[in-house]
Amino acid sequence: MRSLAAIAMLALAGCATAPPLEGASGICDAAGIERFIGQAATSETGAAILATTHASILRWVTPGMMITMEFSASRVTVRLGPDGKIAAVTCG
């Protein structure tokens, strides 16, 4: 019986999520994100986008890249143009 309980606890531990980034509410807010359009895709820019949107997940999307289409309120999606610069920033 104890081994069954231990297995159940391990299985539930695998479902745990990571805590949100410090200062992030976890819910993406699109206010002010248009200022990033045309900027280079760098880790600094990504950090600024996360700080501006308060999202906890940042997703970079390159041209032709296949992505899932499910909505996530805690994610900000940054689409890059062929030149590697930011073409669009959206929540979800």
Domain coordinates in residue numbering, the chain:
20-91
pTM: 0.71
**Does residue 92 register a pLDDT over 50?**
yes
The confidence band for 5, taking pLDDT boundaries of 50, 70 and 90, is: very low
Cα dihedral 42, 39, 57, 23, rounded to 10, equals 90
**CA separation for the pair 79, 62 (Å, rounded):** 6
CATH number belonging to the domain at 20-91, selected among 3.90.1150.10, 3.30.10.10, 3.40.50.620, 3.30.360.10: 3.30.10.10
Give 30-71 pLDDT, tens digit per residue.
999 999 999 999 999 999 999 999 999 999 999 999 999 999
